[in-house]
Structure 1
Amino acid sequence: MNFSKQILIGLVMVLMCLVILLPMGSIVYIALFGGGDLQEYIQNGAFRRYITNTIYLVILVSVLASIFGIASACLVTIYDFPLRRILEYSLFFPLAIPAYVGAYALVDFFEYAGPVQGLLREIFGWKDASDYYFPEIRSLGGASITLSLVLFPYVYLFTRVALREQSSAIIDIASTLGKGPFIRLFRVIIPLVRPGIFAGLIIVMMETIADFGVVEYFAVQTVTTGIYTVWLEAYDLSAAAILSVIVLVFILIIILGERTLRFNSEFHKVLHAPIFSKRNDLPRFAAWLATGFCFLLVGLGFILPISIMITHAFSSWELWFEKELIDAFVNSLYTSGIAAFLTLAIAIIIVYGQTITKYRFSRFLIPTLTLGYAIPGAVIGIGILISLASFDHILADWISMRFGYDPGLLLTGTAFAVIFAYFIRFYAIAQNIVEAAFGRMPPTLIMVPRSLGKSAQESLFSVHLPIIRGSLVTGLILVFVDCIKELPATLLLRPFDFNTLATRVYDRASLENLSQAAPAALLIVLIGCCGVFLLINTDRVGNSV
């Protein structure tokens, strides 16, 4: 490759880094120099509520998700019990349920007018709520349980992978030393798989901070809901930017904490006699308890929400033919589809460019490009609003001076802003998949086409892309699925009278009209299941190698 093309690829990589970091830089700039003031929110106690509720929510969800994820991963990996093989992969499926859909379903099931309390009143003869006590579902505790039920699979997946890399001899040695199952679990197994637990827990914590749909529906005021309040209700962009910076600080603390713990510890992968090659049989009663526990997680995290949505969605066939639902479906397809193709294409250009140029600075640049996934959609939305509004004003002023015509805002409040947010938010998924695909190629396979006189472009399109086609399709589907489910950024950036499936679910459920929200929610879940099936297939292929 000639020098000019190498320079061009380097410039593209730097440009993409600037594009991803621009919204974050805009937020910090407005927060520092925008003249924003949180004094009003501090005086009325709102700011304190945002911070304390966010901290409590993160702690509660992290604890519950850790218990659910670690316990289920240990059970399916170390022990044998009835329906283990089915439940091992069924525990993936709560990932297909967006947190806000799970919230709407659980409230519908457990609220005063729901079937659970209705059945209790019928059995015990209670007349109204004053005759008995039932925990308030729309509360901090209810939000914590809901989020933990849909997020625990992250801890489960990473812990399960870490467990499968351990040797069965470890448990045998602990057993010969007379250690019981609980001591073996807490003193031996959990310390060994701590990197996997932390990896899943980091995602859980970031998703909890980023959540808007659940906490808004449960009336829990967090920093994320505060961003929407001060922007959409008070139109105070500077205050929203300050709150966004606070969220960024939360995320930075989490990432740095995880890196510090990982840096200060050494862990080794055991390659012989994996722990799952010799599963232990549980006593009959304990075995059925294990089955019940895992089934309860799948039931509450997946079966119950999807059953409630199916019940509402098919209460009337007319719901499926409403124009608003069809429009939302089409809008979701084209915004998510364009974002997925764009994200994957840019990931291919950057990863392939780094592979053939070997720029030293790319070792620091490539990880920077993945920061968007760690940043909540609400923060990205505020950053894009600031960036695009500034760009639109500069462009409009230039056009007005040049042609005497004021075009108004060209990008702000358009579908472009939504697609841009999806690209920044989910670029990391595409890059990681493309990097892994190219990483599996032998270096000779990358260089052979070049030695035969093929250009870099010809080598890419005629040799490399066909080889990694399966990985590219997987990446495309996973990015598409996440774009379909994205709610916070879409709410902030969508054009007027523009709905996606996610925003339609939110709009209808906010009006307590779950029947009209259910068809869109069910479509999101079905699309999410495609991503879960891909994950299961990848896991099975990996285990068979």
Structure 2
Amino acid sequence: MVAAPPAAPAPPPAAPLPPRPGQLLQDRSGLAVAVLVLCGLALLPLLRLGGFALTGGQGLIHLGAEGQQQLAGSLGLVLAVGLGCALLGTTNGWLTASCRFPGRRWLRIAQLLPMASPAYLLAATLVDLGSRWTLPVHGPLWAVVVLTLSTYPYVFLLSTESFSISGRRQLEACRSLGVGPWGGFRRVALPMALPAIGAGIALAGMEVVNELGAVELLGVPTLSAGILQRWQAEGDPQGAVGLALVALVIVGLLVAAERQLRSRSRCWNLGHGGEAEHSWQLAGPRALAAQLCCLLPPLLSLGVPLLWAAMSLDQLVSQPLGDLLALAGRSLVLALVAAILTVACGLLLAIARRWIAQPLLQRLSFVAGLGYAVPGTVLALALMLVGGPLGLAPLLLLVWGYGDRFLAVAKGGLDAALERIPPSVDEAATGLGCRWPEVLQRVHLPLLRGPLLVGALLVFVDTVKELPLTFALRPFDFDTLSVRVYQYASDERLGAALVPALLILLLGLAASLALVPNLERRGQSG
């Protein structure tokens, strides 16, 4: 009897195929719904503002003589401050990125210090010091000086990055032909950096349109101040909406220019990044001139408030400790809530941008992050139009406004950090059966700890310094550090504003120093 042949061994189970992009869309439907809700909340105020404008009357067409004066004031400041930022930011960006002189490393870091001093604080201190020294500090010229010192770091940060990665071969060719630093800058580096410089000017222009405290203290009519005046003082909502729409048009043009110039700047990055040994060495009078050029702007923007603080100690008005603690407590709690909420929303939008390749969702996520470009007074007006009929509490509207305005601050760093994580990491985790919340918790959160902390810190301090949105939406008798400094400065009680102003300054310094590691990494490549 012939024995039956042994049965063939069963084939091993097939390994699960890695998920393809978009295959897990159904699993991530909850994430898509959450992103749609967030985008809707971010865009609802501006949509309501547009709907209110469609039902408006003559106020939207005829701005009046006062409105035309405010429009001219805003446009004049945007142009003048843009020119000042271009000159100052580009010069210091080139010197610290492409030249070598004593103290270059520390002066490069010092360019971040002006971001620690709010423009309204610098304006208030200049007004007080001018009254002591019989120097009239008032008018558009002083506003241009104050806003230029406060916003030129935007141009510096983008231009110094461009100069650091400019084509090394082109600059070496300039040296071999006997072209000095000025010729290399004019013929090679500046044309390469023009898109980045333009993007920085556009960002500075957005801050100028948003500014409220400095222009009010210096007596310059602008759209930001006019919106609050028409809405709260004159009771003219249609006129306020008209000014808000004009401000949105200006900001929209600046946003479009900034994005276009940023995309062009990526095409200019030819060759390898510059190296320290290929930088121009400055000595003697040239080195001294470079040191003074890099030292004066941060010295003025941060040194003037500190000088004013030292001179005002004898005028310090003793405030009740309870009142000071209440001011600090309100500011800190609002900033903490805004930081946690904004970073969480930014993380959700950044993860959805990586995991859900749906064009409509991608566009909505991008538009939702443009709130930072919307002036605070415009956003406040839009939120009041939304919250008034619904009966929403002012504090809820205020936190909503913080989240809407600073979402881009938190989301930008997370987008950049996620782009450095290979997609294979996500594929491996989902291939092992992990759902997207588990991938987020086990994989991405540990890798994103640094960007999350930096983003939370920046949102925290930006919220503490924020004035237009807080001033317009705060509940009655609910002041914060920034509002109290502005109120004291407006009433010429700068001695009483000393302590809250110093607290804002210290928090601003913490935010500026958080950018030092990023700037140092750029400096190592330059």
Same fold (TM over 0.5): yes
| C-alpha distance in structure 1 between counterparts of 2:161 and 2:496, whole Å | 40
Query: What is the match of residue 132 of structure 2?
Result: 113
What is the SS of the residue equivalent to 1:497?
Answer: coil
1:149 partner SS: helix
State the 1:272 CA deviation.
Answer: 2.8
- Shift of the 275–52 alpha-carbon distance from structure 1 to 2, 3 Å rule, reads farther
| More divergent stretch after superposition (382-391 vs 162-171) | 162-171
Match for residue 351 of structure 1? 350
What corresponds to 1:528 in structure 2? 508
* Number of the residue aligned with 1:301: 301
Match of 1:402 in 2: none
Query: Counterpart of 1:17?
Result: 39
TM-score normalised to structure 2 length: 0.90
Matches within 5 A, 1:348-387: 348-387=347-386
Deviations 1:494-514 (A, max 9, x none): 000001111111111111111
User: Is 1:448 aligned to residue 428 of structure 2?
Assistant: yes
C-alpha separation in 2, matches of 1:341 and 1:351: 15
* TM-score of the two chains, using structure 1 as the length reference: 0.87
Partner of 1:47: 67
SS at match of 2:205: helix
Paired residues for 1:118-517 under 5 Å = 136-177=136-177, 179=179, 181-260=181-260, 267-272=267-272, 274=274, 276-312=276-312, 316=316, 318-319=318-319, 321-392=320-391, 411-412=392-393, 414-517=394-497
Whether the aligned pair in 2 keeps the contact of 1:90 and 1:298 (CA below 8 Å) is yes
Q: Percent identity, aligned pairs only? A: 29
- 5+ residue gaps, structure 2, are 1-22
* Matches of 1:513 and 1:20, distance apart in 2: 38
Cα offset, 1:65, TM superposition: 1.1
Deviations 1:331-358 (A, max 9, x none): 1111111111011112222222333333
Q: Does 1:31 align with 2:11?
A: no
Is the partner of 1:193 in helix, strand or coil?
helix
Q: 1:276 to 1:163 in 2, by over 3 A?
A: farther
Q: From the superposition, tell whether residues 314 and 277 of structure 1 become closer, same or farther in structure 2 (CA, over 3 Å).
A: farther
The residue that corresponds to 1:126 in the other structure is none
Q: Deviations over 1:453-489 (max 9, x none)?
A: 3322222223321221121111111111111111001
For residue 544 of structure 1, report the CA deviation from its aligned partner. Answer: 5.0
Q: Which range is displaced more, 278-287 or 32-41?
A: 32-41
| Structure 1 position 307, deviation (Å) | 3.1
Tell me which residue corresponds to 2:83: 63
Which secondary structure state, in structure 2, belongs to the residue aligned with residue 514 of structure 1?
coil
Counterpart residue type for residue 290 of structure 2:
A
Q: Which moved more, 1:252-261 or 1:378-387?
A: 252-261
Q: State the Cα deviation string for residues 373-398 of structure 1 (Å, max 9, x = none).
A: 11111110000000111222xxxxxx
Deviations 1:254-291 (A, max 9, x none): 22334455667873324535154422222411211211
Give the Cα–Cα distance (whole angstroms) in 1 for the partners of residues 187 and 314 of structure 2: 50
For 1:265 and 1:467, the matched residues in 2 are separated by 28
Q: Does 1:90 align with 2:110?
A: yes
In the TM superposition, what is the alpha-carbon distance from 1:105 to its structure 2 partner? 1.6
Q: Distance in 2 between matches of 1:367 and 1:423?
A: 15
Do the aligned partners of 1:313 and 1:522 also contact (CA within 8 Å) in 2? Answer: no
Gaps of 5+ in 1: 118-133, 393-410
Question: How far, CA to CA, are the matches of 2:273 and 2:348 in structure 1?
Answer: 41
RMSD, aligned α-carbons: 2.3
Q: Deviations over 1:222-255 (max 9, x none)?
A: 1111101101210211211111000000011222
Q: Quick check: 2:42–2:404 contact (8 Å CA) kept in 1?
A: yes
2:494 counterpart letter in structure 1? L
Distance 1:178 1:429, change over 3 A: same
The CA deviation at 1:2 is: 6.3
The amino acid that maps onto 1:386 is: L
> 1:403 maps to which residue?
none
Matched residue of 2:514: which SS?
Answer: helix
Per the alignment, in what secondary structure is the counterpart of residue 479 of structure 2?
coil
Larger radius of gyration: 2
